[in-house]
Amino acid sequence: MHIKFPKKMEGTMRYLKLKLLPKTLFFRTMLLIIIPLIVVQIVSVVAYFSGSWGKVGKRLSDNLSSNMAFVVNLAEQNFDEFDNIKALTKKLYDLDVDFYDNEIKHSEMNKTSQNNDMVTGFFEKALRDDFPDAVTHLYLTEGSSTLIALIDTKNGLYKFTTSTKNIFSSSLFGFIAWMVGTSLLLFIVSSLFLRTQARSIKELAEAAEDFGKGIDTPFKPYGSSEVRKAGIAFTKMKERINRQISERTQMLAGVSHDLRTPLTRMKLQLAMLPKNEDNQEFVEDITEMEKMLDGYLAFVSGEGGETNTFVDMNEMILSILNKFRNSKTMIRYTTNDQVSAIQGREQALKRAVTNIISNAFYYGKTVAVGLESNNSKMEIRVDDDGPGIPEDKREEVFKAFYRIEGSRNKETGGVGLGLSIARDIIVSHGGTIELGTSDMGGLRVLIHIPL
């Protein structure tokens, strides 16, 4: 039967589930172990307390009360032998008994009591049953280790002193200690086992995340068969991807280099011909083709086998901006002086940031570059006061060879690979790149790279 809850209740339950449930596999699994374990402990203790422990306590209380009744009846009939009765009571029943006459019994009866229902409950009932005509008074001493029972008869007051062990079974504490001890042992063994399993999954996740950033982190599968199978599948997948990227890179690089030879030969031949309008058009076409080949090579080198190092992005941006110091464009650069070093491929990152900043200098008269970082990520912000990019075109410009101008004329810019190369490099480092509207009126480019 499926119970359907109101939508508001479902939303509340979903919120509590997200907030109260642990986030990690280790703590979620431990929760599945701990909750049933606690429930079993509580049920076992309640069952033991209401069953055998209660029966044992009642029998002990009935036995002690019967012994006291026997001693009182014996003393009432043979009071002259009270000293002998007292000694015999101590020897046989481990009971200290004293007698007070009516003159001083009231001071004993008025003493403050410190009762514990769990300890004295059965015994109080047993005393009322065995002494229906006498006034009884029961209290515990400080620490609840000694029990004192006062029985007021017509002749005087009988005071019995004994240990609470005679009415209370201490096996409950031993039972609880045994259960807690075994539970702690189970908890320790389970946590050690689960931590090992969770560690292998965590290392697999870290290796996958690093691979997404272009970092080749060694990973050796271990743990349960399912985790090892997932780790082996990931390793094979990583090898296939690396092999495909390497083959594609080599192919594109080879094609680009092979095309340069005939283009260079054609360019030399045209240089030897007389200069006229037709020949100049051929020269421009060849120059444009060379520019396209340079774009191909730049695109290929963005996925090359460059090793990861720690790159100081502050120094890199300063070196890039220094190349434009002689331009007429106004430059502003700000940084928050936080951590500026990240792990990545230096030349690839420099190519990506150079492409972004170059576009800003090409289209704007004022360029503002900002570098900020916190404990988790680094942000590079590039603003200009140029014409910007329409919102519906901001995703299209990241496609290879796409240009808003609709042509590849060298007079209006590159071949449409700059932003595509930049995004591929940033994404390969685990980052993101977004286009927006600048406060300066032009385009804003936001780059986020995890530290």
Q: Does 295 or 33 have the greater pLDDT score? A: 33
Residue 407 has pLDDT above 60, yes or no: no
Rounded mean pLDDT, 52-67: 78
Residue 206 has pLDDT above 60, yes or no: yes
In which band, very low, low, confident or very high, does the pLDDT at 408 lie, cut at 50, 70 and 90?
A: very low
The pLDDT of residue 342 = 87
pLDDT tens digit sequence for 256-294: 777 777 877 887 777 777 777 777 777 777 777 777 777
Q: What is the mean pLDDT of the chain?
A: 78
Q: How many CA atoms lie within 13 A of 347 on its CB side?
A: 10
In which band, very low, low, confident or very high, does the pLDDT at 113 lie, cut at 50, 70 and 90?
A: low
Asked whether 151 and 108 are in contact (CB, 8 A), the reply is no
Quote the CA–CA distance of 347 and 441 in Å, as a whole number. Answer: 31
398 by Cβ neighbours in 10 Å (0-12 / 13-18 / 19+) ranks as middle
Rounded mean pLDDT, 49-78: 80
Residue 247 has pLDDT above 50, yes or no: yes
* Sequence letter at residue 414: G
The pLDDT of residue 1 = 46
Chain centre distance of CA 169: 46
Rounded percentage of the chain residues whose pLDDT exceeds 90: 10
Asked whether 429 and 445 are in contact (CB, 8 A), the reply is no
Q: Does 1 or 84 have the greater pLDDT score? A: 84
Q: Could you give the domains of the chain? A: 26-169 (3.30.450), 171-305 (1.10.287.130), 306-450 (3.30.565.10)
Quote the CA–CA distance of 158 and 99 in Å, as a whole number. Answer: 5
- 186: Cβ contacts below 8 Å, ≥ 6 apart: 33, 37
Quote the CA–CA distance of 340 and 374 in Å, as a whole number. Answer: 9
Unique residue bearing structure tokens 């410009």: 397
For the chain, the first-to-last Cα distance in angstroms comes to 50
Quote the CA–CA distance of 216 and 344 in Å, as a whole number. Answer: 11
Q: Which letter, b or e, does each residue of 75-88 get, where b requires 16 or more Cβ atoms within 10 Å of its Cβ?
A: beeeeeebeebbee
pTM exceeds 0.75 for this model:
no
Q: Which range has the top average pLDDT, 168-172, 286-290, 367-371, 404-408?
A: 367-371
Quote the CA–CA distance of 294 and 433 in Å, as a whole number. Answer: 23
In which band, very low, low, confident or very high, does the pLDDT at 448 lie, cut at 50, 70 and 90?
A: very high
Asked whether 255 and 262 are in contact (CB, 8 A), the reply is no
Q: Compute CA distances 168 → 54, 145, 172, 320, whole Å.
A: 9, 10, 9, 85
Residue 305 has pLDDT above 70, yes or no: no
Quote the CA–CA distance of 416 and 407 in Å, as a whole number. Answer: 9
- 169: Cβ contacts below 8 Å, ≥ 6 apart: 53, 56, 57, 60
Rounded percentage of the chain residues whose pLDDT exceeds 70: 79
Quote the CA–CA distance of 344 and 330 in Å, as a whole number. Answer: 30
Quote the CA–CA distance of 369 and 400 in Å, as a whole number. Answer: 25
Residue 253 has pLDDT above 60, yes or no: yes
The pLDDT of residue 351 = 87
pLDDT tens digit sequence for 355-392: 899 989 988 899 999 999 887 889 999 999 989 888 88
Asked whether 151 and 72 are in contact (CB, 8 A), the reply is yes
The total of other beta-carbon atoms located within 10 Å of residue 386's CB is: 20
Quote the CA–CA distance of 132 and 72 in Å, as a whole number. Answer: 13
Q: Does 141 or 336 have the greater pLDDT score? A: 336
Quote the CA–CA distance of 242 and 252 in Å, as a whole number. Answer: 15
* Sequence letter at residue 217: T
Residue 412 has pLDDT above 60, yes or no: no
Give the chain's radius of gyration (CA, Å).
Answer: 45
